[in-house]
Homo-oligomer: A and B are copies of this chain.
Amino acid sequence: MAVIPLGFQFAGARCGLKNKRNDIGLLVSDREAALAGLTTQNLVHASCVDYMRERIAGGSLRAMVVNSGNANCMTGPQGVRDTRRMAQLAAEALGLQPEDVGVASTGVIGRLLDMAKVESGIAQAAASLGPSPKPFLEAILTTDLVEKEASATAGQARLYGVAKGSGMIAPNMATMLAFLCTDAEVDAPTLQGLLAEAAERSFNSLTVDSDTSTNDMVVVLANGASGYRPTEPELRNALNEVCVSLARQIARDGEGATKLIEVVVTGTEDPKRVARTIADSPLVKTAMFGCDPNWGRILAAAGRAGVPFDPTEARLTVEAGGEEHVLFEGGSPAPFDAKRVSTALKSDVVRILLYLGPGPSATVYTCDLGYGYVRINAEYHT
């Protein structure tokens, strides 16, 4: 069971922006909360991203209003007005000022929001605030198959986070949408620094299809309701734990995915770049879908990453189904039982370990590429 921080309430409502599930969500703190956040680096981005950058610069917030089903992106001046109107509607319903409310949107790009629906959804949601995050969790999903949440403690303070995302996932300074809240006492600049660190090893180490979304953001609200001021290591560990857990859940729920793949590269001047190039390779991802220990594709992807290394020094192993198999070592293919490795690769979690020399490691989270990805993205009509 997730542990929910003190002083936060949640709500979700269904107003018809998407077909069958809640599509408007509210996350509300009962007092002013320090705010930290990261937003997409995509030049092409939604007006809610610009709006949130102002809020994050301000460093405090009371509530987030989120809609799914429509990204309100590339919608011109009307889209900008609609973002501000969402904040205003939520503020009125909650008895706050518009600048106390953050806004996030996710869904189809390039379509104007149906503001009559949004207005009714916000009113419904505000009337149903409560301690359970479930209705909010559902409200932020698009093609996600599962809800994603994680929690941790930072000393006597609690940290809880939710995320959505399964396609257009190769975040740059943030992921699709992730909302974290904590009752820790912490100032906004410290929180911002620790969030950036945690994002670097979680959401920014995540790729489903190498596409950076226009609406990515991760925000954390810290309202101090626990009365406890965690040490930096306590808060860092809690943030890392929750963010890495959410990133792994997003990768596992990647569009059409049948498994979570963790690519761990050790050595070279930029192990993360090598790991990301492997994780983004359609040939590696389809081999994993086919449970095929086609190590040539893994090394070939590493070799095009633009990072120098000596291929003859490479040692490549896979860990899956409780087994570890060496595939390449000492400049030559390792003798391995292809059938047995293939069976192991049917596992829900596969770790690809590439050692290229001494030095630090980096881990990138991804998933396989199967028919489901094509089905979802060829048939998801605009």
Contact = CB atoms under 8 A, between A and B. Distances in A.
Contacts of A179: none
A96 interface: no
A10 interface: no
Contacts of A75: 332-333
B378 A300 contact: no
A83 interface: no
A290 B214 contact: no
Contacts of A369: 282, 374
A297 interface: yes
Contacts of A282: 209-211, 282, 369, 373, 377
Given A283-B377, A297-B109, A378-B286, A311 B43 contact: yes
A120 interface: no
B292 A381 contact: yes
Interface stretch (A151-159, A189-197, A224-232, A301-309): A301-309
Interface in A121-149: none
Contact of A301 (B211, B296, B308): B211
Interface string A304-332: 10001101100000000000000010011
A287 B209 CA distance: 14
Copies of this protein in the assembly total 2
Interface string A343-382: 0000000000000000000000000011101110111111
A328 B110 contact: yes
B299 A74 contact: yes
A203 interface: no
Given A211-B300, A296-B71, A297-B109, A290 B377 contact: yes
B41 A304 contact: yes
A382 B295 CA distance: 9
A84 to B, nearest CB: 18
A2 interface: no
A108 B381 CA distance: 37
A66 to B, nearest CB: 19
A211 B369 CA distance: 15
Top 8 nearest A-B pairs by Cβ distance? A109-B296, A44-B303, A290-B378, A286-B377, A43-B303, A212-B304, A76-B332, A294-B382
